[in-house]
Amino acid sequence: MVRGAKWAGRGAARASVAGARWARDRGGELVDRIPADRIERELRDTVGEARERIDGFVRHELRDLRKSLRRQRKRLGI
């Protein structure tokens, strides 16, 4: 069991070194292929949608809270 773990660890280390060298050699090329504009646009859309949903939820909760407060005040005669 220990031998297998050592063997797997050495294999993983060799693969990671090879992967790091490959990325170093082609790093600039890979960075140029990242669609930054599209990612930014999609992220802005996602954040905007999340903001709208959160605003709607908060609005709904405040409305319910106000109704509840009115009922309690009415019940207490305030």
What CA–CA distance (Å, rounded) separates 15 from 41?
35
What CA–CA distance (Å, rounded) separates 26 from 65?
57
| Domain hosting residue 72, numbered range | 2-76
Quote the pLDDT of residue 9: 77
Q: Does residue 2 carry a pLDDT above 90?
A: no
| Residues 6+ away with beta carbon under 8 Å from 23 | 30
Quote the pLDDT of residue 1: 58
How many independent structural domains does the chain possess?
Answer: 1
Q: Does residue 17 carry a pLDDT above 70?
A: yes
**pLDDT digit string, tens, across residues 42-78:** 999 999 999 999 999 999 999 999 999 999 999 998 8
- Higher pLDDT among residues 60 and 21, named by residue: 60
**pTM for this entry:** 0.52
Mean pLDDT of the chain: 88
